[in-house]
Each structure stands twice: as C-alpha cells, then as structure tokens.
Amino acid sequence: MKKALGELLSGFVSLLTGMRITLRQFFMKDVTVRYPHEALKMPKRYRGHIVFVRDAESGKSLCIACKSCEKACPSDCIVVDGIKREGEKRKSVTDFNLDFTRCSLCGSCVEVCPVDALEFSKNYNLASTRKDVYQIDLVKRMEDGPK
C-alpha cells in the first residue's frame, strides 16, 4: 500500500516535471526559418556550381584562360577559350562552359586555378525540368549578373 502510493506520487511528480519542461519551451523563441520568405545563409564551405571571381577594380573575370581547370577536371565538364587582347599583358577569357550534369563538385578546378579566378557559388536551387539549364556559360553569367 505504502509502496503503491509512493509510486503513484513519484509518477505524478514526473508528469509535472514533463509539463514544466514543455511549458518552458512554449515561451521560448521559435526556431523555424520561414523558408520561402527567409532563407538561411549558406555556410562558407558550401559547394554550388563554380562561378568566376570578379576583379574588384575592373569588374571583369580574373581568368587568364590557361585551361588548367579544363585539364584538371576529372569529368571533362569544363571547356575554356580565350584571346590575347591588344595592350593587355595576359590572355582573357571569352568562353567558359560548364556542363553541370557531369560535374561532381570535386573542386579540382578551384584548387588548380593559378589566379584564383574560380569559386563555388552558394546557389542551391538547382532543380530543373530542362537539361540545357545545366549548360552554364560562366562568362555570360558574370556579364548578366550584378556588377
């Protein structure tokens, strides 16, 4: 009898403890990110598809069309072309096509780039119903994008 009543009392106290915990949660700030209205900032090391790094002064690409990335790419998804313009010391890029359907985001291109002209984008909305969306022209993308 005494044991049963003791169990009953301790059980009841444990129920109250549970209720106290949930009530405390009730008054805390909610942790949800209301996704379409707001989104979390992607972490620094997130790997989206590669994009050009913009030169801080000229606003142009740093790429010298050395084709190191083209050679380094294990999936052969990069095609680079460039010309030497009058009065410039380095070659500059004219074509940089990335076939993202084959890219495995290994990062060899970013690593190998001698002038650090490539970086990973933070773009994660990459689903599409059309395949040609994944043929990304990095030169055009940079020209169209915000200055």
Partner 1 sequence: MSFLAFNLLEPWPEPFRLFLYLAGVMAFVGANAAYLVWVERKGAARFQRRPGPTEVGPAGLLQPIADAIKLMSKQVHVPPDSDRILFRLAPVMVMSPGLMCLATIPFSDTIGARNLDLGLVMVFAFGSINVMAIMLGGWASRNKYAIISSARIVSQNVAYEIPMLLVVITMLMITGTTNLHTIVEQQAGGFWHWNILKVWANPLMPVTFLIFFTCMLAETNRAPFDMAEAESELVAGAFTEYAGMGFGVFFMAEYANILVGCSLATVLFFGGWQSPIGVFSGVVWFLVKLYLLIFTVIWIRWTFPRTQFYRLLNLSWKILIPISLGTLMLTCVMLKIF
**Best CA proximity match to 75, nearest among 46, 99, 47, 95:** 99
Q: Does 129 bind partner 1 (CB under 8 A)?
A: no
| Residue 38 or 88 having the CB closest to partner 1 | 38
Question: Which positions from 51 to 90 touch partner 1 by CB under 8 A, shown as an x/- string?
Answer: ----------------------------------------
Three-class SS string for 55-70?
CCCCCCECCCCCCHHH
Q: Does 31 bind partner 1 (CB under 8 A)?
A: yes
HSE (side-chain half, CA atoms, 13 Å) at 2: 0
| Residue 4 or 127 having the CB closest to partner 1 | 4
| Residue 14 or 128 having the CB closest to partner 1 | 14
Q: Which of 8, 13, 79, 105 binds partner 1 (CB under 8 A)?
A: 8
Nearest distance from residue 10's CB to partner 1, in Å? 13
| Residue 22 or 58 having the CB closest to partner 1 | 22
Q: Is 143 helix (H, G, I), strand (E, B) or coil?
A: helix
d(CA 44, CA 47): 9
Q: Does 15 bind partner 1 (CB under 8 A)?
A: yes
Q: Which of 6, 10, 13, 18 binds partner 1 (CB under 8 A)?
A: 18
In order, the DSSP letters of 93-138 are EEEEEEETTT-----HHHHH-TT--EEE--------S-GGGGEEEH
Q: How far apart are the first and last CA of the chain?
A: 81
Binding site for partner 1 (CB under 8 A): 8, 15, 18-19, 21-23, 25-26, 28-32, 34
